[in-house]
Amino acid sequence: MHGDQHIWRVWARILHRWGMIDMAASFLEAAGPLNLLGAQVVYFTQPLLINAVPDDHLIALTRMLEDTDCTQDFIAYLREANST
């Protein structure tokens, strides 16, 4: 089990509520190497996001975007969450 899976559950619930699980999973798959750039954007904007997003969620997001295996695990988690 992945260490950030408790945060992933929160994200999956939010994406499910917005009807965006499939879109988020597809976007992460299509972005591929650009996910690393996304992690850098999160790092850069972290001072602006700190009041809107919990710090542990920002760290989990950057960790997921930087590690392709972790990204694939999150995509699989989203797909599984959407099928239940």
What residues make up the domain containing 77? 5-83
What's residue 13's pLDDT? 95
What's residue 3's pLDDT? 83
What is the number of domains present in the chain?
Answer: 1
Residues whose CB is less than 8 angstroms from the CB of residue 70 and which lie 6 or more positions away in sequence, other chains included: 2, 4, 63, 64
Does 84 score more than 80 pLDDT? Answer: no
Mean pLDDT (whole number) for 62-71: 94
What's residue 1's pLDDT? 44
